[in-house]
Amino acid sequence: MHWGDKPYYSFSYYLKQTFGEKIHKVSINAGMTCPNRDGTIGRGGCIFCSAGGSGDFAGNVKTSITEQINEGIAGTTKFNVNKYIAYFQAFTNTYAPIEYLRKIYEEAIAHEKVAVISIATRPDCLSEEVIDLLVKLNEKKPVWIELGLQTIHEDTANYIRRGYQLSCFEQAVKKLRQRGISVIVHVILGLPGEDKKRMLETVTYLNHMDIQGIKLQLLHVLKYTDMAKDYEAGKFKVLSLEEYTDCVVSCIANLDPSIVIHRITGDGPKDILIAPLWSSRKMFVMNTIHHELKVRNIWQGCELK
């Protein structure tokens, strides 16, 4: 397998192969909420989720979708990029009346520089009506759905208050794929109670699902979250850089080579990041992981059984 300069199917390589040029992401806050916060499923939200609904880098909710896209584009002028992914990031981005969803997605798709729209949501917020809408939009420009699975283990899912069962995720992936929508799955490495074996079980499980992309993210403990209370009470420890590197490298080695890796780490917002603080040095973390892949001669899928 050849993926350019990296030993895995990186997101940047995929974008260049697919679109023939560099593409950047602009993050949007469309003013959503989440059923795990508004009382429909729960009130506290997922235990790690910040007040920004995991969209702390997203745009300004007080401005229109077009303005947020333009603002995001303006911040990337030095990179000489012409196409963008409009990323609906904050909270649950299919959790609103269908007319509102149609309006915001169509506004994003109509932007001449937007090549893709990517929508972060929950598998229990994908009604037939919503999927019908996504299918229509997908005929105009590619539509990706990003699902926050985090783990396949139900005890961990209960602890993090994910609020849906694995079977719900499976049904959502099936429905999306039957209708031709690409699926990207978020996995958190380093959740309390999860050792490397358990994290690899999640990756192995995903190899057997029809998914197109994965985001491997380090657990961040953020201020004002319930997880921060447990962390400060000494109920769990976060991973060291060495431990994280070992886990993520093993995940890459065990991941099906056809799945695009969108992320191998993640940088929590510095102003509310409690731990692990080493994660704020993103380039250093990336270099450490790449070095480890090289030293251990690991490439994506090389340890697939």
Residue the block writes with tokens 């899912």? 157
Nearest distance from residue 92's CB to ligand SF4, in Å?
5
Spatial separation of the C-alpha atoms in residues 180 and 128, rounded to whole Å: 14
Q: Does 118 bind ligand SF4 (CB under 6 A)?
A: no
Spatial separation of the C-alpha atoms in residues 273 and 279, rounded to whole Å: 9
Spatial separation of the C-alpha atoms in residues 131 and 67, rounded to whole Å: 26
Question: Which residue, 176 or 289, has its beta carbon nearer to ligand SF4?
Answer: 176
Contact 210, 181 (CB under 8 A): no
Determine the size of the site formed for ligand SF4 (CB under 6 A).
12
Q: Which of 91, 144, 231, 244 touches ligand SF4 (CB under 6 A)?
A: 91
Spatial separation of the C-alpha atoms in residues 113 and 109, rounded to whole Å: 9
Spatial separation of the C-alpha atoms in residues 49 and 219, rounded to whole Å: 11
Position 255, amino acid: L
Pairing mode, if any, of strands 23-28 and 83-88?
Answer: parallel
Nearest distance from residue 121's CB to ligand SF4, in Å?
8
Residue partners of 168: CB distance under 8 A and separation at least 6: 123, 124
Looking only at Cα atoms, what is the longest distance across the chain? 52
Q: Does 7 bind ligand SF4 (CB under 6 A)?
A: no
Q: Which of 76, 46, 57 is nearest to 270 (CA)?
A: 57
**Interaction with ligand SF4 in 137-176: which residues (CB under 6 A)?**
148
Question: Which residue, 92 or 288, has its beta carbon nearer to ligand SF4?
Answer: 92
Give the x-and-dash track for 51-90 against ligand SF4 (CB under 6 A). Answer: --xx------------------------------------
Give the x-and-dash track for 198-237 against ligand SF4 (CB under 6 A). Answer: ----------------------------------------
Nearest distance from residue 42's CB to ligand SF4, in Å?
8
**Interaction with ligand SF4 in 257-276: which residues (CB under 6 A)?**
none
Q: Does 301 bind ligand SF4 (CB under 6 A)?
A: no
Spatial separation of the C-alpha atoms in residues 24 and 103, rounded to whole Å: 23
Token pair in block for residue 171: 């049904």
DSSP state of 226: H
Nearest distance from residue 268's CB to ligand SF4, in Å?
13
Question: Which residue, 254 or 279, has its beta carbon nearer to ligand SF4?
Answer: 279
**Interaction with ligand SF4 in 10-49: which residues (CB under 6 A)?**
34, 36-37, 45-46, 49
Query: Which residues lie near ligand SF4 (CB under 6 A)?
Result: 34, 36-37, 45-46, 49, 53-54, 91-92, 122, 148
